[in-house]
Structure formats: structure tokens, C-alpha cells
């Protein structure tokens, strides 16, 4: 397996085809590309599509220390959307996005 050399490559490795645990449910990532991330239906949720760039903004906020894994999902959303190039509603799936941050933080590089 190749070592991911970009944030996108690492995000793809972490998410694609995997189950990402959230605080209340688990999210199955069925698709990742440079444009979007798609999560299948899971218990209590319907399908969700998130722009990949939005997820990378959340990862960037984590890496720069603006948010932490102990920050509440709603607070993460408020922090990230205030610095985002994207419309605020794009950050509305904060539970999925915070699960991505947790997965990023817990992923071990090869």
C-alpha cells in the first residue's frame, strides 16, 4: 500500500469503504473523490454528501488547533464555518464531520 502524501490521499485512505464511528452512531463511507464524500444510510441517518473541501477544512482546523477531539460537534461547526470559504449550511452535518476529525486524529500513518 502506498503512503498517502497529501491530505486528500490520507482522507481517502481513512474513509473510503470504511465505517467511521461517531458519538451516537457509525457512518459507512461508500464514496470519496476530490469533489465529495458520500455516506450510506445508517441507523438513524439518511444518505449524506459532503464536499471533500469542507471535510479538509475541518481537518485543517484540527491540525491548526482551532478544534480538538474533545470539542463538541456543534462548537466545531461554529468555529470552522466562521473561517470557511463555504456557505455555513455546508457545515450542517457536524456529526459526520466531527467523526471525520476523530478518524483523522486516530489514524496511524504507515
Annotate 87-108 with DSSP letters as a single string. -GGGG--HHHHHHHHHHHHHPP
pTM: 0.92
Is the pLDDT at 24 greater than 90? The verdict is no
Domain coordinates in residue numbering, the chain: 7-106
Pick the closest to residue 54 from 93, 21, 27, 24 (CA basis).
Answer: 93
Q: pLDDT tens for residues 58-93?
A: 999 999 999 999 999 999 999 999 999 999 999 999
pLDDT class for 23, splitting at 50, 70, 90? confident
Mean pLDDT of 36-60: 94
pLDDT class for 44, splitting at 50, 70, 90? confident
Distance CA 16, CA 28 (A): 9
Distance CA 35, CA 75 (A): 25
Amino acid at each position: 500500500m502506498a503512503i498517502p502524501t497529501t491530505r486528500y490521499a490520507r482522507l481517502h485512505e481513512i474513509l473510503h469503504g470504511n465505517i467511521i464511528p461517531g458519538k451516537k452512531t457509525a457512518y459507512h463511507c461508500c464514496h470519496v473523490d476530490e469533489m465529495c464524500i458520500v455516506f450510506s444510510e445508517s441507523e438513524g441517518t439518511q444518505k449524506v454528501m459532503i464536499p471533500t473541501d469542507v471535510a479538509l477544512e475541518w481537518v485543517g482546523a484540527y491540525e491548526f488547533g482551532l478544534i480538538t477531539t474533545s470539542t463538541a460537534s456543534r462548537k466545531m461547526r461554529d468555529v470552522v464555518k466562521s473561517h470557511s470559504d463555504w456557505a455555513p449550511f455546508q457545515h450542517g452535518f457536524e456529526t459526520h464531520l466531527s467523526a471525520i476529525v476523530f478518524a483523522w486524529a486516530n489514524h496511524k500513518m504507515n
